[in-house]
Structure 1
Amino acid sequence: MLRFSGAGVSDVGRVRPHNEDSAFHGPYVAVVADGVGGAAAGEVASATAAYVVAATALARFGDDPTQVLVAAVEHAHASLRAGVAADEERSGMATTLTAVLTDGSRVVLGHVGDSRAYLVRDGLMHQISQDHTYVQHLVDTGQLDPAERFGHPWSNVVLRSLDGGADQAFDVTELEVRAGDRLLLSSDGLTDLVRDDRIAEVLRLTDPHSAAAVLTQSALLAGGKDNITAVVLDVVDGPLVVGDGRLLGALCDVRNIVDPAAVHSRA
């Protein structure tokens, strides 16, 4: 049975006053969410989305992972809408969301925004998520060389995110993974400051926690201008285990989570 074995680190960085990144990782689901662009209540948006997606995945373990992920994102969107309705100061809050989940045989990736997912196999790393940014749009339309993407001054312009407004498209992809592969989920606080070749080098470290810690330290040494979150997951084949996990970043503070019951009370 496929599952994840890994570790994560989330750091406020050297510039931001608080952490608007949220993450969760466990044997069957992992999530990274990043409050978008310093918008209102970014920590509420990211923590709520990460909590709802992780909780939905845990509650429905064994169900079709694609259907679970789609339902989880719908629930997260409803919770964000409820959060805005309950407090107008949260108007405009939004978050990226990158998640992987497995039912023990299939692995599915869900993604919106500019957090990223990478896959490492046989020592080679490649990005498996697509950035929803203006810079990526320039690359896709041939207006920018891919080599010029790193450090671009418009790299923080996010075109798609999960918010409390109208529905936004959310990418769902079934991954071809196997035992021995390694996955990295990260916020842009890492990838905006640390190049892919350095990330790939660090991910060769055997211990997932050491890899996550060194990646975070690399971003701090590069300036730490944003919150930094890195979750490193090894894909393993083993017996069924208890599907709990670890909370990181803004998700550690329950006050950042919009009560899911509020969604139903307003329905």
Structure 2
Amino acid sequence: MDKDGRAAPYDDGALLTIGAFARASRLSPKALRLYDELGLLPPARVDPHSGYRHYAPAQLERARLVAWLRRLGMPLARIREVCELAPEAAAVAVAAYWAQVEADTAARRDLAAFLVDQLERKNTAMTTPHTPLTMRYAALTDQGLVRPAHQDAAHAGPRLLAVADGYGPDGGQAAKAAIEALQVLEDQDLSSADLLGALEEAAHRAHRAHRAHRADPAAAETTGSTLTALLRSGTQLALLHVGDSRAYVLRDSGLFQITHDHSLVQSLIDEGRLTPEEAASHPQRAQLLRSLDASTEFAPDLQLLEARPGERYLLCTDGLTGVVPAETVQQALTAAGDPDRAVRELIRLAREAGAPDNVACVVAEMTVA
């Protein structure tokens, strides 16, 4: 059998049909077809007339290894790597993967605790008087050390926090316009308003204006922006998100990412076709699936959060998260004396890491009024 899992010269009579091979390997025919398409487990022979796949018995060992690794939850991209290794090196790779799984499980356990707490807060909020909160905040952007233009924008105010990461020929203006469209919410009475509705409608106005004023609808290179924003009224926070900028909350139990990237590489990670390590250097890591873009419909994620005293919220563009590890971000947010010092330290860390992209950071701290 060669390194691609394809059998050496074979005897037609010894080959197994895809059904027989599926039963022997405990992989479904559907899975075998997918693994063939990915080059992970190609058949020994494909009938040129019927297209039927046939497998050699010698391929069963690789197939069973693939099945076991899938039962572990290993992504297909990593399975391909393990299958190319010698047994000793493969054992080391599986052990390293499982160590990462255990670390990720611990992180998900913390996330589950965060979600349970968030849901319990919503129930408590219906029966318990709110503790009046105020918000300290700061925003800072930086062009970075490589980009010839600055296309990130940020805003921090008493009610609104927002970051935007522009792209394309007029990305800087697109990001600025997205933020400005939301800033009108600073002056509105939101005490009895539908926070999510108000935030979403302001963002939709920005999208409609961007569509109406795009310079050349037929241009080969589009212009657009990400947009991540929090709108506050009392203890409630409305979150709107589209693109690959991010929002985090820092609590006693840790730092939690409360947005999900709308990017090609994140979708591949979600499908198990790419590992987070591979995503960092993927040639299409900047490709967005959703954004505030004149050529696409605007479909943001929306959620309502309940804030507590002592929490810190971070909104940032990928110029920070692309070069500064989450652990380092958490340490900086925890150690900073106030939001202003926090944003300055985060920008410093991005520049220290080379700052290949523009950077925008907003930090807010909830305190008892």
TM-score by length of 2: 0.60
For residue 60 of structure 1, report the CA deviation from its aligned partner. Answer: 4.7
Q: Go from structure 1 to structure 2 and tell me whether the alpha carbon gap of 1:90 and 1:128 turns closer, same or farther (over 3 Å shift).
A: farther
- The number of residue pairs the alignment matches comes to 234
Gapped regions of structure 1 (runs ≥ 5): 239-267
Partner AA of 1:237 in structure 2: V
CA drift of 1:51 comes to 0.5
Of 160-169 and 66-75, more deviation after overlay is shown by 160-169
Larger Cα-atom Rg? 2
SS at match of 1:88: coil
Structure 1 counterpart of 2:332, from 202, 217, 236: 202
- Contact 2:235-2:306 at 8 Å conserved across structures: no
Matching residue within 173, 183, 200 for 1:44: 173
Please report how far the alpha carbon of residue 25 of structure 1 lies from its aligned counterpart in structure 2 after TM superposition. Answer: 0.6
Q: Mapping of 1:1-267 within 5 angstroms? A: 1-36=132-167, 39-62=168-191, 63-84=193-214, 87-88=215-216, 92-122=222-252, 124-146=254-276, 148-204=278-334, 205-238=336-369
| Runs of 4+ residues deviating >2 angstroms | 1-4, 56-62, 87-92, 144-155
Return the structure number with greater relative CO, CA threshold 8 A, min gap 6. 1
Stretches of structure 2 lacking an aligned partner (at least 5 in a row): 1-131
Tell me the CA shift for residue 153 of structure 1. Answer: 4.2
Q: Are 1:151 and 1:192, in contact at CA under 8 Å, matched by a contact in 2?
A: no
2:104 maps to none
Residues 166 and 144 from structure 1, CA distance in 2 versus in 1: closer, same or farther, beyond 3 angstroms?
closer
Partner Cα separation in structure 1 for residue 267 and residue 227 of structure 2: 19
Counterpart of 1:68 in 2: which secondary structure?
A: helix
The answer to whether the Cα contact below 8 Å between 1:3 and 1:102 also exists between their aligned partners in 2 is no
Q: Which whole-Å deviations, capped at 9, do the CAs of 1:53-85 have from their partners, x for residues lacking one? A: 12135335332211111111111111111221x
1:76 match: secondary structure: helix
Q: Against the structure 1 CA distance between its residues 166 and 152, is the aligned structure 2 distance closer, same or farther, given a 3 Å change threshold?
A: closer
Q: Deviation of residue 4 (structure 1)?
A: 2.5
Aligned-residue offset at 1:146 = 3.9
- Kept in 1, the 8 Å contact 2:150–2:172? The answer is yes
Q: Distance in 2 between matches of 1:90 and 1:234?
A: 44
Q: Distance in 1 between matches of 2:178 and 2:218?
A: 14
Q: Is the Cα–Cα contact under 8 Å of residues 150 and 195 in structure 1 kept in the other structure?
A: no
Superposed CA RMSD: 1.9
Q: Which has the higher strand share?
A: 1
Identity fraction in percent: 37
Contact 2:160 2:185 in 1 (8 A): no
